[in-house]
Amino acid sequence: MTSFAQITVFAVMLSMGMALGFEGMGRLWRRPSLLLRCCLAAFVVVPVAAMVVTRVLPLSFEVRAGIAAMAVIPGAPFIYRKMLKGPGDAELAGSFQATMALLSILLVPLWFGIISALYPNDAAAPLATVFKQVMLMQGVPLLAGAAIAPASLAQTVDAAPAPQGLAVLLTQATDADDQPASPDDLAVEDLTNEQITQLETVFDTYQPQIEAATARYLTSLETINALLVPSTDDLTLTNAHNDVVVAEQAMNELIFQRNLALRSVLTLDQRQVINDYVRAYLGLAAPPQVTVTFPDTLVGLDADAAIANLQADDWGVAFTTPSQVGLNRGSEELDLLGINLSRSKLILPEVGLR
């Protein structure tokens, strides 16, 4: 690896560590089943598939060596920057990248040892050299960046007071009056003990992540605000804006997923409060209520006459029961309830539209 490439990789890994911190790096570890699947895919499935390809196809040593190297070293550092621009979970992507980089310190030398044993005449790589290379290029800068992340965040926040506009944005993003922070904020009646326990678990799981994501969002806003001076070039502003978009998306996604998790604990009759929180966060108004007016012309008619009038007005009978008649006209529906058809009972005003 050239000196320029080494410096670039070192800088990318250092930046990733500073962006994630130890808490962000551990995101994937809090989902053991997903962590296991990621490790199997990165360190077993892909290398084994690469070995099969190099065995089956008549490739030169250089090509086989290149395929093997790419297969056993998962998660190229620059892929993380590309993932940040996509629609996925930025923090989870970063945690995956960081986890693969740290595990590579041990597993990449192991795979190189296996390859050297399988191809003793073609390839030989001292394990200590491979370990040192991976450790210095990925492990050291990543851990160093994570170690200084809290300090750098505090320095950024304390360096200059946030302008009033940024303070308003932060307040909107974290104000407990706008979004729930505990089961008590939901003010839902008739919660069971099991529901309360499940709701508390959801809050305990998501709240630290939401607070961390909100802090990163605020930092990105302050960064681009400081860069909005005449001397800043367009590329720097574009990158800063991309960071704002990614941070905001990560924060919004966490809040939305938290609210969905809360909603799944509640019964259908209890969910309206969560719907209102989601609408408030998205700045949406409640949909207008449908006003139902019973046709006055039917009041006082017997059932047979009412149905005949409706059929003459293009209504069709959808179903009948001893006490109910359902009619449709396009997307409109009308129920005549409480009717005794054999007695041609009079239609009353409380019978109405569905």
Q: 348 pLDDT exceeds 50?
A: no
Q: Which tens digits make up the pLDDT trace of 175-209?
A: 434 788 888 888 888 889 899 899 999 988 988 88
- On the question of pLDDT at 13 being above 70, the answer is yes
Of residues 135 and 312, the one with the higher pLDDT is: 312
Which residues neighbour 114 within 8 Å (Cβ) at sequence distance 6 or greater?
none
50 falls in which pLDDT band (50, 70, 90)? confident
Average pLDDT, the chain: 75
User: Quick one: pLDDT band at residue 246, thresholds 50, 70, 90?
Assistant: very high
pLDDT at 87 over 70: no
Residue 206's Cβ-side half-sphere holds a number of Cα atoms within 13 Å equal to 23
272 CB neighbour count, 10 Å cutoff: 12
119-140 pLDDT, tens digit per residue, is 665 555 566 666 677 777 777 8
User: CB within 8 A of 208, min separation 6: which ones?
Assistant: 23
Q: Which amino acid is at 187?
A: A
pLDDT of residue 245: 92
- Which CATH number describes the domain made up of 160-282? 1.20.120
| pLDDT at residue 44 is higher than 60 | yes
What is the per-residue pLDDT for 127? 60
According to the model, what pLDDT value does residue 261 have? 92
Phi and psi at 164, nearest 5°, equal -60, -40
From the list 75, 104, 66, the residue with the least C-alpha distance to 16 is 75
Burial 47-85 (b: 16+ CB within 10 A, else e): beebbeebeeeeeeeeebbebbeebbbbbebeebeebbe
Residue 204: phi and psi, rounded to 5, are: -65, -35
Q: Decide if 102 contacts 35 (C-beta within 8 A).
A: no
Q: Are 158 and 29 in contact (CB under 8 A)?
A: no
pLDDT band for 72, please (50, 70, 90 cuts): confident
pLDDT on residue 353: 47
**Ramachandran category for residue 346: left, alpha or beta (phi over 0 → left; psi -120 to 50 → alpha):** beta
pTM above 0.75, yes or no: no
What's the topology of domain 3-148?
Answer: Na+/H+ antiporter like fold (1.20.1530)
Q: Between these two residues, 125 and 220, which has the higher pLDDT value?
A: 220
Q: Which of 261, 141, 157, 160 is nearest to 214 (CA)?
A: 157
Q: Where are the domains of the chain?
A: 3-148, 160-282, 296-343
pLDDT higher at 130 or 229: 229
